[in-house]
Amino acid sequence: MDTVTEDKMAIYMALLGGLGIIHHNCSADEQADMVRKVKRYENGFISEPIVLSPNTTVGEARELKEQWGFGGFPVTGMFIPTFLYFTFQMMIKHNLPF
């Protein structure tokens, strides 16, 4: 099955074994962006994630949201200790087996 489509539909069609054709009613830049988004998508796994640093401004994050079409970006360079981290540290401190 094939049809003229945009990036989101092309991703879903590819996951089901189909083929999506980017239509020519878009500019060349828009077509390239759509193809880039489809090629970046790999069965739900993001091989090259777009990440933010703690110094990224809200304005920069909004620009990325507009550019890529999603707004959930991991922030790197931050450490948030969890219960498991504290448990592991206590086991090391008291020389307990793990």
Per-residue pLDDT of the chain in tens (98 residues, 90 and over written 9): 456 888 888 888 888 888 888 888 888 999 888 888 888 776 666 667 788 888 888 888 889 888 888 778 888 886 666 777 778 788 888 888 76
Which pLDDT value is given to residue 2?
A: 55
pLDDT at 47: 67
DSSP annotation of 94: T
Start-to-end CA distance of the chain, whole Å, equals 53
pLDDT at 87: 81
pLDDT of 44 reads: 60
Neighbour-count burial of 69, counting CB atoms closer than 10 A to its CB (0-12 exposed, 13-18 middle, 19+ buried): exposed
